[in-house]
Amino acid sequence: MSDAASPITPDVVAAHGLSEEEYARVLHALGREPNLVELGIFSVMWSEHCSYKSSRLHLKKLPTEAPWVICGPGENAGVIDIGEGADGQKLAAIFKMESHNHPSYIEPYQGAATGVGGILRDVFTMGARPVANMNALRFGRPDHPKMKSLVKGVVAGIGGYGNCVGVPTVGGETNFHKAYDGNILVNAMTVGVADADKIFYSAATGIGNPIVYVGSKTGRDGIHGATMASADFDEKSDEKRPTVQVGDPFTEKLLIEACLELMATDAIVAIQDMGAAGLTSSSVEMATNGKAGIVLDMDKVPCREEGMTPYEMMLSESQERMLMVLKPGKEPMAEAIFRKWELDFAVIGEVTDTGHMVLTWQGETVCDIPLGPLAEDAPLYDRPHLSLEDYKAWAAVAPLGDVPPSADLGADLVKLMGSADLASRRWIWEQYDSQVGADTLQKSGGDAAVVRLHGTTKALAISTDCTPRYCYADPYEGGKQAVAETYRNISAVGATPLAITNCLNFANPQRPEIMAQIVEALRGMGDACRALDYPIVSGNVSLYNESKATGGGSAILPTPAIGGVGLMEDHSVMATIRFKAEGEAVFVIGQSNGHLGQSLWLREIHGREDGAPPPVDLAKERAHAEFVRQLVAEGKVTAVHDVSDGGLLVALAEMALAGGIGCTVEEIGDHFTAFGEDQARYVVTSAVAETIQAAGIPMTRIGTTGGSAIRGPGFAVELAELREANEAFFRDWMAV
């Protein structure tokens, strides 16, 4: 029996992830009952992963425009103006962050690898050569029986794919918390650079123009991947292994070069990568964006397996594939390019004026869907959500209350620097090729990664960040803080923050408390972006990150991961975190009030996750960052580091370890000032302290660099002891 003739029963509808109400919408859109191919197409296009049906209403409230924004949300990636290149050509940075959470839990190596491959395609699809990869990873408890293998698999997958494809992995973040025991998060980000007048979009136009399939052949891997990514995990999650795609980075490299070569001609009308939902989403999005129709001959789709049906071809998420609309007569030239790079090339259809997606196979029409209703009738939910006040009552985070004094600030510092969240990530980043391309100026270990724009004095600064424990306790303040921290990190290296992408990781939106996390985190993000003039130009939403699998049983912490990009006009004055010399003055910029609520110190030393997160004053964030950027530009500071997880003493320890030089501080007398996580703060060092004018910015001299230890009132810790504690976690964990 063919796909088209298979009966549609309530069980079949439910298996495709559609509710009764959504299936009624399908019937209304078609004016008849769908066949299996059509049901599959509606299923993936209306999945949470593809349609954003629970979040779209709230995403529309985010600021997305600025004079330097060339293209905001809605395309494969965001595009910003970064000025002139070496030859006077105007340049653009193109970037986006994506999730590959569920696949990475089921099959960590391939899940993470294909996450990297997918985000690379989103960027080079638009005409950019990828110049940097980042990642944001969240794992469960290190002592969880699955966690070591998950960490090893994910890190190997990221490195294995990125290293082979020749794009440097230059930074990221990795956190651990029990809330991710059964549902890890793997968020990947790619940044590329293109000529600003050679950006490619996805709108299919030109009646009769050929539709071309290029890249790898289609297999049965990844079928229902988008649907799987839009559902909770359960005890049978391992059975979903066939829904995880398999990647080939060597083919991806060939695909990048072939696409960029064809893009240098005038042949391409539109281009779209085959990501989630594969051929379905790419063809539907191209036709919808171009307000056109599309007809595809499924007999012409290159397949690597015998007997594949249209249903399988349309829903496969096989990797390293692209769909293009070409100008008429350009097919032979395009084919020659792709054949030269040993890639498949096939003309599989054409653009029509019908407004329908029509699929033919073996002489029959097996699908005929009006594209307007497929997009316009897609579900859009204003899901019930708690107020922020009611959410906090539900979350039941204990008030901070009394905090016992520290018995030994030095001992606390050693314990913090050895904890899973602050330990050296050397074991991770040594597996990544960070120097391929020879343009990486800063990599993992600093505040932001920095990548030179080849042949210019300019560089891009890139940071990923989020503090999920803050977001759980107060999603509004947590959303603000995630944006503000990337802004600080980029400012700390001397770059001007320009725009962000995001990956919004949450649990089941059908729970009002989870929906409250989404709504309030987005409200906080929006307020921060407006106040900092730091728009959102692309992103991804990953919901249903909730596991009933063994060891999980709960929702993840709300994790709106932010990827920020900034521009440095002259990388010769770039700042780094390491202490440079002995005898330099150490300053704190910003106010230290000793906020210990939701601090790492409270959690790691006392086992408590209590209190409200630190409030974020956006006016201060902007003013302090602008001041820091001015100091860097004028060469008045020798080292800069933002103060975040672990507070002031941890920031000093990281600077000291990076430079191999200690410091003596006079102004850290208790655990509040040592480990409080007040925001809008930086540590800077200067050899010309007397020339620094704070211009109304709170700025306190707290000490002097020098020696082989970090010393303060009543404590002293040798750098050698700190370094051993800092390096031991991953080294010892992975050695067993």
Write out the H or E segment, with its range, that includes residue 204: none
Indicate if 224 belongs to the active site. Answer: no
Q: Which two tokens stand for residue 557?
A: 């912490």
DSSP 405-450: PPS-HHHHHHHHHTSTTTS--HHHHTTS---TTS-EEE-TTSSSEE
| Cα–Cα dist 700/591, whole Å | 9
Indicate if 595 belongs to the active site. Answer: no
Q: How far, in Å, are 76, 119, 325, 340, 458 from residue 95 at the CA level?
A: 9, 9, 23, 28, 17
Q: Fill in the amino acid letter for 393.
A: A
Q: How far, in Å, are 465, 654, 660 from residue 657 at the CA level?
A: 22, 5, 5
Q: How far, in Å, are 299, 334, 351, 435, 467 from residue 293 at the CA level?
A: 19, 23, 6, 45, 44
| Cα–Cα dist 448/11, whole Å | 50
Alpha helices in 557-609 (DSSP H): 600-606
From the list 49, 102, 356, 624, the catalytic residue is: 49
Q: Reduced to 3 states, what is the DSSP secondary structure of residue 498?
A: strand
- The two beta strands, 293-297 and 356-361, are parallel
Q: Helix %, strand %, coil % for the chain, to 5?
A: 40, 25, 40
Longest Cα–Cα distance in the chain: 85
| Cα–Cα dist 416/418, whole Å | 5
| CA 260 to mean position of chain CA atoms | 24
Q: Fill in the amino acid letter for 562.
A: I
| Cα–Cα dist 241/247, whole Å | 14
CB 686 within 8 A of CB 640: no
Q: Which two tokens stand for residue 166?
A: 């020749």
| DSSP 8-state symbol, 300 | G
From the list 16, 58, 100, 641, the catalytic residue is: 100
Nearest to 490 by CA among 521, 459, 530: 459
Which residues are designated catalytic?
49, 100
